[in-house]
């Protein structure tokens, strides 16, 4: 709910897309249904902390940087999602095709 990812900028602006992505792998980490779209700072903080704690994903993005602008920088979001994917693969949580 409240997540419709269409791009790597505005779709990630509330922090809920990051939370939804992490919640899909770690449903016991937090109550996604209790999150509010307007609580951007809290959503980003929760997502980044969960990614670091559960997957070892480097904190490439700062919460303050994400809330400073209404629309996050697409390159920053893409880089973070790419790093999160790499960490999930390394933990064996995402399967990749062998070539």
pLDDT digits (tens, 9 = 90+) for 8-32: 999 999 999 999 999 999 999 999 9
Assess if residue 65 is contained within a domain: yes
CB atoms within 10 A of CB 83: 17
Assess if residue 30 is contained within a domain: yes
Number of domains into which the chain is organized: 1
Residue among 31, 39, 89 nearest 67 (CA): 39
The span from the CA of 78 to the CA of 82, in Å, is 6
Assess if residue 99 is contained within a domain: no
Residue 36 domain boundaries = 10-91
Assess if residue 25 is contained within a domain: yes
Q: How far is CA 58 from CA 6, 25, 80, 95, in A?
A: 25, 17, 9, 20
Q: What's the pTM? A: 0.92
In this structure, what CATH number is given to the domain that contains residue 75?
Answer: 1.10.418.10
Assess if residue 23 is contained within a domain: yes
> pLDDT by residue (tens digit) across 36-87?
999 999 999 999 999 999 999 999 999 999 999 889 999 999 999 999 999 9
The span from the CA of 72 to the CA of 66, in Å, is 6
Assess if residue 96 is contained within a domain: no
């Amino acid at each position: 709910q409240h997540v419709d990812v269409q791009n790597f900028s505005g779709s990630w602006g509330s922090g809920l897309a990051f939370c939804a992505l992490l919640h899909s792998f770690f449903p016991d980490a937090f109550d996604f249904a209790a999150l509010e779209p307007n609580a951007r700072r809290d959503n980003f903080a929760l997502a980044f902390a969960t990614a670091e704690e559960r997957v070892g994903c480097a904190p490439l993005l700062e919460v303050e940087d994400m809330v400073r602008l209404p629309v996050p920088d697409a390159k920053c979001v893409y880089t973070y999602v790419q790093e999160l994917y790499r960490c999930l693969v390394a933990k064996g949580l995402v399967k990749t095709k062998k070539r």
